């Protein structure tokens, strides 16, 4: 029993750690985007992430107990190259680029709130393509969260002379969130087939190659990295963004899945908006406002209710492995 309790505790700890890591993404990226072009930043972040995963694979492939989850070989089928490239460029590259761009127009808190809507976006994708149905409680939670987001956006716009820029920032971060959420099923199928480390490694390489081509075509200077290398703090933020946020957090999440299950682990991600808000207040000096705090708490509660009642729904989306079993 003690062993079981330790596993459950470790699983919840890992799930909450992922929420914290993803919650501080905006705080980490804000200083970097203020000194380096976002496109160049995406390139270097995913180069760092790819290097980190190469190091992880060089160790993990030697242990048979890790091969099933992380991957045992770098060989992939030709028919999956396009899927991996699409998943990497759209699900990772566009996610990071739009996220970085949005920070020029909206606060880190607003960014974190919209990014926290990923469970909603994933479910809507399931409704369109996997015949998933939301119940009345989930619809209520979604509408309540949407209203809170609109109120936060209106409040932020009222405090700025260029409300159009604020709406642009919300649009950019929404595109970022959708890029990641709507490729989640494809990422999951690739992870099941090749292992999480191997599938992510090729996705990150795809982003790095695409980023290199775009930077070169636009005539941007790779030497901008010198600005980051001149500051120990910026170096740490870049490595944290590339290796920890883009790479390590997914491995930690996989560990959590194995210990407490996908549903419970996903619930912990409901803390992302709150984590973003807290870190933005204490590290970037964003104002601590009662109205905004209440709206954040309502959104977190609504996300929890949405996920909680979604896991008990009889119309769950089936995994790719379940669909294969039914087909056979």
DSSP string, 39-95: HHHHHHHHHHHHHHHHHHHHHHTT-HHHHHHH-S-----GGGHHHHHHHHIIIIIIH
Identify which of 20, 169, 153, 24 has the alpha carbon closest to the alpha carbon of residue 99: 169
Instruction: Please report whether residue 100 resides in a domain.
Output: yes
Predicted local distance difference test score (pLDDT) of residue 2? 67
Residue 322, domain member (yes or no): no
Confidence (pLDDT) at 327: 38
Instruction: Say whether 272 sits in a helix, a strand or coil.
Output: helix
Return d(Cα 52, Cα 45) in angstroms, integer.
Answer: 11
Q: Is residue 254 part of a domain?
A: yes
* Ranges in the chain, pLDDT < 70: 1-3, 119, 123, 130-132, 152-164, 254, 261-264, 266-267, 307, 310-328
Task: Answer whether residue 11 is part of any domain.
Answer: no
Range of the domain at 46: 25-67+76-317
- Identify the pLDDT of residue 3: 66
In a domain, residue 328? The reply is no
Q: What does the pLDDT read at residue 313?
A: 45
The tens digit of pLDDT for each residue in 233-246 reads 999 999 898 888 87
* Alpha-helical segments (H) within the chain: 2-23, 25-33, 38-60, 64-70, 81-88, 95-102, 108-115, 118-129, 136-158, 163-181, 184-194, 196-218, 225-229, 232-239, 249-260, 262-268, 272-283, 290-311, 320-327
DSSP helix/strand/coil, 114: helix
Question: How many domains are there within the chain?
Answer: 1
- The answer as to whether 10 is a domain residue is no
In a domain, residue 15? The reply is no
Q: What integer pLDDT is reported at residue 119 of this predicted model?
A: 67
Residue 114 lies inside a defined structural domain of this protein: yes
């Amino acid at each position: 029993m003690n062993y079981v309790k330790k596993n459950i505790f470790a699983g919840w700890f890992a799930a909450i750690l992922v929420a914290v890591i993803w919650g501080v993404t905006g705080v980490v990226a804000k200083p970097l985007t203020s000194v380096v072009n976002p496109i160049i930043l995406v390139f270097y972040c995913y180069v760092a992430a790819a290097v980190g995963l190469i190091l992880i694979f060089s160790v993990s492939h030697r242990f048979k107990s890790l091969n099933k989850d992380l991957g045992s070989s770098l060989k992939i089928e030709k028919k999956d190259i396009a899927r991996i490239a699409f998943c990497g460029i759209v699900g990772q590259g566009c996610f990071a680029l739009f996220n970085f761009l949005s920070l020029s127009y909206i606060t880190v808190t607003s960014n974190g709130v919209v990014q926290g809507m990923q469970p909603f976006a994933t479910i809507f994708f399931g409704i369109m393509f996997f015949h998933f149905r939301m119940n009345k409680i989930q619809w209520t939670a979604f509408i309540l969260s949407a209203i809170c987001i609109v109120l936060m956006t209106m409040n932020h716009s009222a405090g700025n002379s260029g409300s159009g820029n604020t709406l642009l920032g919300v649009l950019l971060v929404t595109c970022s969130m959708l890029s990641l959420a709507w490729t989640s099923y494809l990422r999951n199928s690739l992870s099941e087939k090749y292992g999480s480390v191997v599938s992510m490694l090729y996705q990150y390489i795809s982003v790095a190659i695409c980023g290199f081509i775009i930077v070169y075509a636009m005539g941007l200077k790779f030497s901008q990295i010198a600005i980051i290398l001149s500051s120990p703090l910026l170096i740490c933020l870049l490595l944290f963004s590339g290796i920890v946020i883009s790479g390590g957090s997914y491995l930690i999440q996989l560990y959590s899945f194995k210990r407490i299950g996908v549903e419970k682990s996903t619930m912990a991600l409901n803390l992302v908006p709150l984590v973003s808000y807290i870190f933005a207040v204490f590290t970037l000096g964003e104002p601590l406002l009662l109205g905004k705090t209440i709206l954040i708490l309502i959104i977190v509660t609504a996300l929890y209710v949405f996920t909680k009642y979604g896991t008990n729904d009889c119309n769950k989306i089936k995994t790719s492995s379940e669909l294969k079993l039914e087909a056979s």
